[in-house]
Chains A and B, each alone.
Chain A
């Protein structure tokens, strides 16, 4: 539901010379939501984030936060904060001084800024490491410190530029749960840029899929995953087959495709055991690739091998017509 403190992009465009990085993008980010900007490299998601932060100028359009156009304001006066991919912790300052840096720039006295920094460090579970230098921290600890530093400005919107990409897979899963928890506790808007579909699905209240400088689709994570509008979204979000059927182009989730007695004919091209599922790749008429994620027990009840002819089917209501 729309509130007076939402963030809205109105026909925001970014051009670098003749190259259009972001093309008239309009979107409403509801206050207090966790939004993931998802897309491949060069799709314009980072440029969009950087324009919201104020690190890139807006060529055309407006960025409205809480009813005010912030597009021309300096970064520090926008009501946004950013957590950088590299964390950008100043290496010569302790964690506490890093967190308190913006308060120092505002001329707040040492005792007060340290008190506030300590509160934030407590929030992210870093109190014990407050006197360490960034080089003495692990990747996850650096990320928490960077979060605390971003949050000390009490932003209305926190911008996260691929915050998990520098972490190992195990820590990434752990930290994304913490990010989500923190966002719920704080109740502010998080805009998180990622090219990881699983990350977006796990975190986002809303996923905004970008491609070629425009938004291809935006909506709740389940909606985007279950009903991709375009072939690009279906392929990018993963786990979907894009099939050209006589009625048109459709997206069918791979885990909805079943081995059946009747259905589309296909020849198995590869079989891959994935634990809970077996990934069966096949080739249908018209040289179309199809992926079926078959529950392990079902597959091994009647195992298939490459070269076998099979029939594959799916529920008609699970095939989503694609717009493009």
Chain B
């Protein structure tokens, strides 16, 4: 590359970096604003001008959210539901993806097309059916009721199928020659060959479930059975409009997800890349 070429590349590289930083700031500012507001006294929050740092830093809203609400129960509910959904979804999607990719059985293509077609139907369109069914099963206000409709994630099945499709066929044949059955091929050969896929999909599934609002909101009426995303709306109901308190509860609700992002940044990016263009 010539000196002019290098200078031109550096210039555009700088422009792109500056734009990326600007976009990141635009995305990050509301988060910053939320966190900082939750650390201000209520009267500071409602001031009609912008203050980027609290005049009087306080943790009183966090203390309130942790002591005067049922946030503990909401955390437990969210953890139980998110872990349950993640484990069950990952195991069933993995088995389904493996079967679709590796096994020959009648109706395989039909099943595959049905899974693909399920993208055409938005979850919201099914929510009444889900509610009626859950209600008839007597599962309203139960963990099982919150979990059941969230166990279907076609995107995870599709990512698994694609992953299994890409594993060279020789590995399967070598394992078959070594007397491995289908479960052993899956659990002893295919999965350990790339745990990254499972880790990434598990994290993403956990985050989706943790952040889910509409279905947990509809399927639970008792405060102590709410997940945290639904529970924090009760802070508003119970105490009127207290922005700082609501934001403190929201920060507490988002904390595990934020931690998951920070700890597993690379895996989350990998999962998003894997499912890019698939998720409907």
Q: Hey, which bits of chain A sit against chain B, CB under 8 A?
A: 53-55, 74-76, 81-82, 84-86, 88, 90-93, 101-102, 105-106, 149, 153
Contacts and interface: CB of A to CB of B under 8 A. Distances in A.
Contacts of B11: none
A88 B168 contact: yes
A105 B170 contact: no
A75 B189 contact: no
Max chain B C-beta neighbours (<10 A), residue from A53, A54, A90: A90
B193 A75 contact: no
B171 A75 contact: no
Contacts of B171: 88, 90
Contacts of B177: 53-54, 75-76, 81-82, 102, 153
Nearest to A161: B170
Contact of A84 (B173, B179, B180, B189): B173
Contacts of A81: 177
A102 B180 CA distance: 8
B178 interface: yes
B179 A85 contact: no
Contact of A105 (B168, B178, B192): B178
Given A90-B193, A92-B193, A105 B184 contact: yes
B168 A153 contact: no
Contact of B174 (A88, A92, A106): A88
B258 interface: no
B170 A86 contact: yes
Contacts of A84: 170, 173-174
B214 interface: no
A101 B176 CA distance: 11
Contacts of B193: 90-92
Contacts of B168: 86, 88
B199 to A, nearest CB: 14
Interface string B157-200: 00000000000101101111111100010000100110000000
B193 to A, nearest CB: 5
Given A86-B168, A91-B193, A92-B192, A105 B179 contact: yes
11 contacts: A84-B174, A86-B168, A86-B170, A90-B171, A90-B174, A91-B193, A101-B180, A102-B177, A102-B178, A102-B179, A149-B178
Contacts of A85: 170
A75 B176 contact: yes
A35 B144 CA distance: 62
Nearest to A77: B179
A81 B173 CA distance: 11
Max chain A C-beta neighbours (<10 A), residue from B168, B171, B178, B189: B178
A76 B184 CA distance: 14
Given A91-B193, A92-B193, A105-B184, A55 B178 contact: no
Contacts of B179: 76, 102, 105-106
Nearest to A102: B178
B7 to A, nearest CB: 41
A82 B171 CA distance: 12
Max chain B C-beta neighbours (<10 A), residue from A74, A82, A88: A88
Nearest to A98: B174
A53 B173 CA distance: 10
Interface in B128-174: 168, 170-171, 173-174
A74 B170 CA distance: 16
Given A88-B170, A91-B193, A102-B178, 8 more contacts: A75-B176, A84-B174, A90-B174, A92-B193, A93-B192, A102-B179, A105-B180, A106-B179
